[in-house]
């Protein structure tokens, strides 16, 4: 087939009057057909410019229990085929408000963590240099560290909103400094984040030491436990987040295990007693006052999933984050 007869890769995509290329039209191509990009959006190579990029990082060499998050980007993209163009809860059409693309995957070495961190940082930097906001589909939580390094080069220290059952501010595992349990200690020690604008949401479960929470607070984190949500509700959580993180660029990092394993079983280190889907959505939808410059959804492990429910949750959380970003345009 010659270049002249190659089909237009964007022929089936919906377009706005000002040239933004959106999703594949489901009335033209059914949702189970065609390329499996996130939300059926165009690839970054098919458009001249883009405002936000969804990018996979299929890396899970930093896990300390169950592996499988390397298949996370693939699973989330498959589950995202049901996402629709209008979000009535946020009253926004994110794929019309600005140009969103699927940037494929950033490949990191599965055998050399240090090299993988350099590769992931480089891939994230290329997208940021193109002027894009990032939604990163992990992969394990280690990937947040090189993404924060790339963001720091553009924005300086950013605020960090971390949804997780676990602190991820431990020092090392088996002598390794870079794992999925250490990214935010590294980020605080290296000045990648603003230590006055840090918050965990959804903490629960056992710890390694009586001093873990105190050590975490010394790094600058405000901790909102699942038990706090029972007491102050989602509105109280939103108020605490906005009070802590407003006033500068923010990175949102979502470990899918923040949700209860009854809702999101497909993850590497599940913890009983987590957030419900409705609670998570209410909290995210209350964050319109934050300047979100990047985000990740990590630790989705499809081999442990049931009926794709974990991947579906992750796809919808990525969508809600894109809607927040679009509302800032």
Report the DSSP beta bridge partners of residue 296: 136, 253
Once rounded to an integer, what is the mean pLDDT over residues 48-61? 95
Contact 250, 325 (CB under 8 A): no
What's the distance, Cα to Cα, between the start and end of the chain in Å?
Answer: 41
Fold (CATH) for 3-327: 3.40.800
Cα torsion at 125, 131, 136, 142 (round to 10°)?
A: 30
Per DSSP, the residues of 211-232 read THHHHHHHTTEEEEEHHHHHHH
The DSSP letter of residue 7 is: P
Mean pLDDT for the chain overall: 93
Query: Does 292 have pLDDT greater than 90?
Result: yes
Model confidence at 1, pLDDT cuts 50, 70, 90, reads very low
Contact 133, 324 (CB under 8 A): no
Contact 124, 52 (CB under 8 A): no
186 to 168, 219, 255: CA distances (angstroms): 10, 10, 17
Model confidence at 136, pLDDT cuts 50, 70, 90, reads very high
CA distance 145 to 134: 14
Q: Which of 72, 37, 50 is nearest to 264 (CA)?
A: 72
101-127 residue pLDDT tens: 999 999 999 999 999 999 999 999 999
**How much is the pLDDT for 245?**
96
Query: Does 278 have pLDDT greater than 50?
Result: yes
Per DSSP, the residues of 55-83 read EEE---TT-SS---GGGHHHHHHHHGGG-
**How much is the pLDDT for 6?**
54
178-231 residue pLDDT tens: 889 889 999 999 999 999 999 999 999 998 899 999 999 999 999 999 999 999
Rounded to two decimals, the pTM is: 0.94
**How much is the pLDDT for 5?**
57
């Amino acid at each position: 087939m010659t270049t002249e007869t190659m089909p237009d890769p964007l022929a089936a995509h919906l377009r706005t009057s000002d040239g933004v290329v959106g999703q594949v039209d489901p009335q033209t191509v059914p949702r189970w057909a065609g390329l499996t990009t996130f939300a059926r959006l165009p690839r970054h190579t098919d458009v001249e410019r883009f405002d936000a990029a969804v990018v996979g990082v299929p890396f899970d060499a930093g896990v300390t229990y169950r592996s499988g998050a390397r298949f996370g980007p693939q699973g989330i993209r498959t589950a995202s085929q049901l996402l629709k163009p209008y979000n009535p809860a946020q009253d926004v059409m994110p794929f019309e408000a600005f140009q969103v693309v699927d940037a494929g995957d950033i490949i990191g070495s599965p055998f050399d963590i240090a090299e993988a961190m350099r590769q992931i940082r480089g891939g994230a930097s290329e997208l940021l240099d193109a002027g894009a906001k990032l939604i990163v589909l992990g992969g394990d939580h280690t990937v947040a560290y090189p993404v924060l390094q790339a963001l720091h080069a553009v924005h300086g220290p950013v605020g960090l909103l971390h949804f997780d059952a676990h602190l991820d501010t431990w020092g090392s595992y088996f002598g390794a400094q870079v794992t999925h349990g250490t990214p935010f200690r590294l980020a605080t020690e290296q000045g990648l984040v603003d230590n006055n604008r840090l918050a965990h949401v959804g903490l629960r479960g056992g710890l390694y030491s009586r001093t873990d929470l105190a050590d975490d607070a010394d790094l600058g984190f405000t901790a909102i436990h699942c038990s706090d949500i029972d007491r102050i509700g989602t509105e109280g959580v939103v108020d605490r987040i906005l009070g802590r993180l407003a006033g500068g660029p923010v990175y949102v990092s979502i470990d899918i295990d923040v949700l209860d394993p009854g809702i999101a079983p497909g993850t590497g280190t599940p913890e009983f007693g987590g957030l419900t889907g409705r609670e998570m959505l209410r909290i995210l939808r209350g964050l319109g006052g934050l300047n979100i410059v990047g985000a990740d959804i990590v630790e989705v492990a499809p081999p442990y999933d049931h009926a794709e429910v974990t991947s579906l949750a992750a796809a919808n959380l990525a969508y809600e984050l894109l809607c927040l970003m679009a509302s800032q345009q």
